[in-house]
Amino acid sequence: MKEFICSVCPEGCRVFVDEAGNISGNGCPNGAALAKKDLAIFGRVFSGSVAVLGGGKDNCAVESTDKIPRSRVYAAMEALRPVTIFAPVKAGDVIISDFLGLGINLIAAEDIAEI
């Protein structure tokens, strides 16, 4: 049996999938859909932050454009440590292309104005 913690809503349901593919524990249909998707690609959209110079904030939230394997989460966090960007930044700007060699991008999740 596999267990997932649903992140679709704030409830954080514990969703279980047995060997036959039966899903239980989800409080809404979104939890079941997330569990099915996680079984296909065991990972999550990665989010973190990078340093910003010349902006109204010191950090900018970033996220991957698709799931990364859970086994690569720590590598993803380490990859962000040395990254510094310059303001202005618009949500959706590509911060790192081909993030971790996975063929997905890391994008800004917020606007940061230049000061």
59 pLDDT above the threshold of 90: yes
| pLDDT reported for residue 86 | 98
CA dihedral (60, 66, 72, 77) in degrees, to 10, reads 0
Domain shared by 22 and 76, yes or no: no
Residues with Cβ < 8 Å from 40, sequence gap 6 or more?
none
Per-residue model confidence as pLDDT tens digits over 5-34: 888 878 888 988 887 778 899 898 888 887
Q: Quickly state the pLDDT bin for 41 (edges 50, 70, 90).
A: low
Per-residue model confidence as pLDDT tens digits over 65-112: 988 887 788 999 999 999 999 999 999 999 999 999 999 999 999 999
Domain shared by 102 and 55, yes or no: yes
Instruction: Please say whether the beta carbons of 55 and 115 come within 8 A.
Output: yes
Range of the domain at 53: 44-108
In a domain, 114, yes or no: no
Q: Where is pLDDT greater, at 6 or 57?
A: 57
What CA–CA distance (Å, rounded) separates 30 from 73?
Answer: 23
Domain shared by 50 and 103, yes or no: yes
| pLDDT reported for residue 40 | 65
